[in-house]
Each structure stands twice: as C-alpha cells, then as structure tokens.
C-alpha cells in the first residue's frame, strides 16, 4: 500500500486552521452540556467571570495535537481510498477526492480514518473537556464536582496520578459512537456536494469548497448531539467518585435531571462553529494538496 503522505500533511495544516476558528464556541458548547446552561447564559457568564480568555480554556493541548489528529484522519482516509479504489489514470495524483471515486469506498475510507483519529484524540478530548469545564464564578454554575487542574500539563499529570493512564480514555465509547460512523458521512457529504450536486451549476470552485466543507461538518453533527452530551458529562465527571456509571446511566440521570432537551444543549453553538470550522478545514486541505500537485 502506498502511503498518501500529502494527505497527512494537508490534514495537519487544515486541522490547525479549523481549531483556531472554532475553539471559543467549542468551550461554550462544553459548558452548556456540562452545566445545562443556555447559549446566552454560557457566553455571558464566561465573559463576566473570566473575560475573553475564558473562551480559550483548554486550547493548548488541542493546538499541539490537532495537527497530527487531522493528519491521521485525512492521511488514513487518503491511503485507504487509494487502496480501495486507485486513482483513475490522468487524475491529479495528490488529490484523494475525485468525481469518479465510488461513494461506498469514500464512506469506508472515512470510517477507517475516523477510527484512527478517535483512538488518538480521546486523551486530548479528556484534557480539553476537563479544562473547559473549569470555571470561575463557581456559585453561578450548577456543579457537583470542581475540576482541580489548572492547566494542560497539570491536567495530564493529575489525571494519570489520580486515576491512572486509563483516565485519559474516559468517554472513549461515546466518542467512538460519535466519531467513527460520522467520519464516513463527513467525507461522503463533502464528496457528493463537490462532485455530484454542483457539476451542472456555474458555481465557483472556491464557493463549492466552502459550502461542501461546512455542510459536511453539519451533516456529521446533526445525529450525534445526544452522544456528545454524554461524552462531555462523563469526561468532566469526578473520576474518583463518578456521578455517572457509564453511557446508559448518564443518559438516564441526565434525562431525569434536565429533561429531553439536555441532549441537544449546545447544539446552536456546535452548529454555529461547525460550518466555518469545516469549511476552513476542507478549503485548507484542498489548497495544500493543490500546492503539492503544482510543485511535486
């Protein structure tokens, strides 16, 4: 199997661009899910007690790891797709997406890429979520547990010290449910919008990339918000005296405490950030691949 190194590099750069665009709203989403707050309340309370910096809580670890994480996703996706369906003769050799690629192959390659990314990213999600759930103005947030860690490396050391290395993989099951099948949907939606739906319309290529990338992100999130809420609550729970005992217990207790609406808490913040983040990711990804095509 030929490794598609260009996809790894393009995914790395694209991931960093997406993180910079979307982290503030990701912080708001996490706090909504962890504490049951409305979008307006979470935004206002964060700014009132922590200022602008509060929206960037927990960003350092993702910033250090989002590059390799997205490199895994797109690199494994590109390599798997090249194995399942070799690039047609005459097509640019550095491009993974192309109009002749089979939809089933694209979906399966996305699932494989998503699996690799999910295993890598779980510790990142744990540390990020733990730090995003650490708030000031403590009396105004409804909490049963106060996160003790004050920074990325303190959180890493503290989690391993307090509950062992496995603590970095808390919430892996809901994370896999959230990310693996939707990774296939993610790349399939992008491919269909780029190469199936817009071919007969006179729409500039760059505009198609933006719309297809943003829409792919929204499509991959629409059906998994309840699982994302459960993931957030499990990962931000007290590790030594957990309130939630697994996925089913978290669903039950969350429903009993906050009603059905809690499973879509954070949806506006998620969808608001999802379109620009994934538009940025796919535009950057394709631009880097185009650069490789011109220069190599």
- pLDDT at residue 236, rounded to an integer: 86
- Predicted confidence at residue 36, as pLDDT, reads 85
d(CA 20, CA 272) in angstroms, rounded, equals 14
CA 41 – CA 241 distance, rounded (Å): 28
Structure tokens at 40: 């307006």
For residue 188, give both structure tokens: 């399939």
Domains of the chain in start order, with CATH, are: 5-295 (1.50.40.10)
Contact between 85 and 13 (Cβ < 8 Å): no
* Whole-angstrom distance, CA of residue 277 vs CA of residue 18: 5
User: According to the model, what pLDDT value does residue 296 have?
Assistant: 66
Phi first, then psi: give them for residue 118, nearest 5 degrees.
-60, -45
Q: What is the pLDDT of residue 267?
A: 86
Distance between CA atoms of 155 and 131, rounded to whole angstroms?
Answer: 8
Residue 63 falls in which region: left (phi positive, over 0), alpha (psi -120 to 50) or beta: alpha
Q: How far apart are CA 81 and CA 4, in angstroms?
A: 10
Plot region of 102 (φ>0 → left; ψ -120 to 50 → alpha; else → beta): beta
Q: What b-and-e string marks burial along 81-103, b requiring 16 or more CB atoms within 10 Å of the CB?
A: bbeebebeeeeeebbbbbeebee
Instruction: With beta carbons less than 8 A apart as the criterion, state whether 281 and 213 touch.
Output: yes
* pTM for the predicted model, two decimal places: 0.81
Any idea what the Cα angle at residue 273 is, between residues 60 and 74, rounded to 5°? 70
Phi, psi of 286 (to 5 degrees): -70, -35
Mean per-residue pLDDT pooled into runs of 10, the chain (296 residues): 77 91 89 87 91 87 87 91 70 54 90 94 90 70 70 88 91 94 95 75 82 94 91 88 92 93 87 92 91 77
């Amino acid at each position: 199997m030929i490794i598609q190194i260009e996809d790894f590099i393009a995914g790395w750069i694209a991931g960093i661009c997406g993180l910079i665009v979307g982290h503030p709203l990701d912080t708001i989403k996490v706090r909504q899910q962890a504490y049951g707050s409305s979008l307006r309340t979470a935004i206002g309370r964060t700014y009132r007690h922590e200022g602008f910096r509060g929206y960037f809580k927990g960003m350092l670890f993702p910033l250090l790891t989002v590059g390799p994480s997205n490199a895994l996703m797109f690199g494994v996706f590109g390599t798997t797709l090249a194995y399942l369906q070799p690039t047609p003769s005459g097509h640019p050799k550095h491009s993974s997406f192309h109009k002749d690629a089979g939809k089933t192959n694209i979906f399966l390659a996305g699932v494989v890429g998503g699996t690799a990314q999910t295993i890598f990213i779980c510790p990142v999600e744990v540390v990020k979520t733990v730090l995003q759930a650490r708030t000031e103005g403590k009396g105004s947030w409804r909490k049963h547990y106060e996160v003790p860690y004050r920074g990325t490396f303190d959180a890493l050391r503290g989690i391993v010290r307090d509950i062992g290395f496995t603590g970095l993989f808390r919430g892996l099951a809901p994370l896999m449910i959230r990310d693996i099948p939707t990774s296939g949907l993610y790349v399939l939606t992008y491919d269909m919008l780029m190469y199936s739906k817009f071919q007969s319309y006179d729409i500039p290529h760059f505009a198609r990339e933006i719309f297809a990338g943003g829409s792919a992100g929204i499509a991959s999130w629409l059906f998994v918000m309840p699982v994302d809420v459960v993931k957030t609550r499990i990962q931000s729970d007290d590790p030594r005296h957990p309130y939630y005992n697994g996925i089913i217990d978290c669903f039950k207790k969350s429903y009993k405490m906050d009603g059905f609406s809690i499973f879509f808490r954070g949806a506006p913040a998620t969808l608001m950030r999802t379109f620009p983040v994934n538009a940025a990711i796919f535009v950057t990804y394709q631009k880097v691949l185009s650069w490789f095509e011109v220069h190599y």
